Chain A
Amino acid sequence: MLTPKPICDSLSDLEILRRALEALDFFSCLYERYEQRFLRYIRRVSGATAEEAPDILQDAFIKIWKNLNGFDQSLKLSSWMYRIVHNEAVSFLRRKKSFGKDQKVPYDEQLYQRMPDEVQDAAEEPELRDQRTQHLVNRLPQPYKEVLILKYWENLSYEEISDVLKIPEGTVATRINRAKKAFIQASEKTPAP
């Protein structure tokens, strides 16, 4: 029997963590609290499909459960969980690459090809504009793609990104700067719809 949502909502992340160590059911609160956010992140960072993403998240949460005692309470729990989810997503991406299945993100590519015919002014369609941005970000090298997604989609601070990627904050800043330049270059090379 899972913990009812009102009880979950009344608890902070750390309280859930403490209770989960005593009663496993409380762990479902964490899952439900972060499920949608992490699923979106997994899809963005790894290009996983809507069917693949929940499996990646399940594996990530099993790792979170196993390492629950290793959580350093000086970090934000969400940053620590992001780290594990991120690693799991990147592992998935590597596995996928090794099978040569990542050459294109089908729905993105098709959508991008259709854009000039279907849309008069893409700037007026935020969703399509977002799709185009995501498409451009997908074409950047993985380290650049990761920081841009964490910064501009997940809205994490430099410190949180540093904790997720396990790199110094200075490196985060440098990488974001370079990623932005690479993004601008990529967008200049790609004609707007």
Chain B
Amino acid sequence: MKDSEKLIQTIREKNIQPVPKHFFTLKNAAAWLGFLLAVLLGALAFSVVLFCIQQTDFNLFSHLGHSRLEFFLGLLPVFWILFLMLALVLAMVSIRKTGKGYKFSITRLAAFTTAFSILAGTLLFIAGGGRALEHAFELNVNLYESVQEKKVKLWSQPEQGYLSGTILSSDATSILIEDFSNQQWEMHYDSAFVAPVLTLEKGQKIKAIGKMLGKGQFEAREIRPWGGMGLRQKNSSLHLPGDQFIVPALRPAPLSGAPSCRAAHPYRSTWAPQP
């Protein structure tokens, strides 16, 4: 018997049928869908990275006693950067599973998926998607430490020279503030730089760099509004972009090692939120 006859006979005897066309169509569609979802996830992650960077006080570089690299790495939103990288890998794997996916080199795939995610992520960031996702994580993921929580921690270290809170009263040389753990501080500012946007009125939220003089006493070297640098004069508005969240003082402290918008900060916080 010829081999071709043997083949046809085997197919007939075993009743082997071709796999239906729609199976292949669905398989290909699933791969494309996976790619689109992964790019979308990457875009979301990138928009949060942008949001975190926007919210980060990189200007603190000039006040460092710590290594700049250590500080820089501490400020990076490592969790979201890893999330972004994972999404990019997923996108690349998915597109490789499409019919002609193998035609693209790894470099080209990485470039395309990164470009798509960055473009879509930037658009999402502009539309407020990054902030919304970060906020959603803050509210719904217990272990997640939001950018605002991190910020509060960073600016609640009077021993290290960082203090923040709400102004209760003020005079020509000092202001009385209540920090985010409800402790009151007398802040001397007679020789300090005060950001032009600040009027030091009751209720304003501020952050200051300076030196702790003793219990409840702080000498400021620089006072800025809680949100941003406060260099431009505004109509007594303290609510700069990114300053729209309620300070999460009532939230339980996240566990150490929890994923966060920023990686474990090089500063050790002394901030303890009130229950």
Contacts and interface: CB of A to CB of B under 8 A. Distances in A.
Interface of A: 2, 21, 24-25, 27-28, 31-32, 35, 54, 57-58, 61-62, 65-70, 72, 74, 162, 166-171
Interface residues of B, number: 25
B113 to A, nearest CB: 15
B21 interface: yes
Contact of B18 (A35, A69, A170): A69
Main secondary structure of the interface of B (DSSP, over half): helix
27 contacts: A2-B2, A2-B5, A24-B8, A24-B11, A24-B12, A25-B8, A27-B7, A27-B8, A28-B7, A35-B4, A54-B3, A58-B3, A58-B10, A66-B18, A66-B19, A67-B19, A67-B24, A68-B18, A69-B19, A69-B24, A70-B21, A70-B23, A162-B103, A167-B102, A168-B102, A168-B108, A169-B103
Contacts of A66: 16-19
B173 interface: no
B3 A2 contact: no
Nearest to B21: A69
Q: Most chain-B Cβ atoms within 10 A of its Cβ — which of A31, A57, A162, A171?
A: A31
B4 A32 contact: yes
Contacts of A61: 7
Interface core residue of A54, A168, A171 (most chain B CB under 10 Å)? A168
Contacts of A170: 105
Interface of B: 2-8, 10-12, 16-21, 23-24, 99-100, 102-105, 108
| Secondary structure class of chain A's binding surface, majority of residues | helix
Given A66-B18, A68-B18, A58 B7 contact: yes
Contacts, number: 69
A70 B20 CA distance: 8
Given A27-B8, A28-B8, A69-B24, 15 more contacts: A25-B8, A27-B11, A28-B7, A31-B3, A31-B4, A35-B3, A54-B3, A57-B3, A62-B11, A65-B16, A69-B19, A74-B100, A168-B102, A168-B105, A169-B103
Contacts of A65: 11, 16, 18
Contact of B16 (A25, A62, A70, A72): A62
A70 B3 contact: no
Contacts of A167: 102
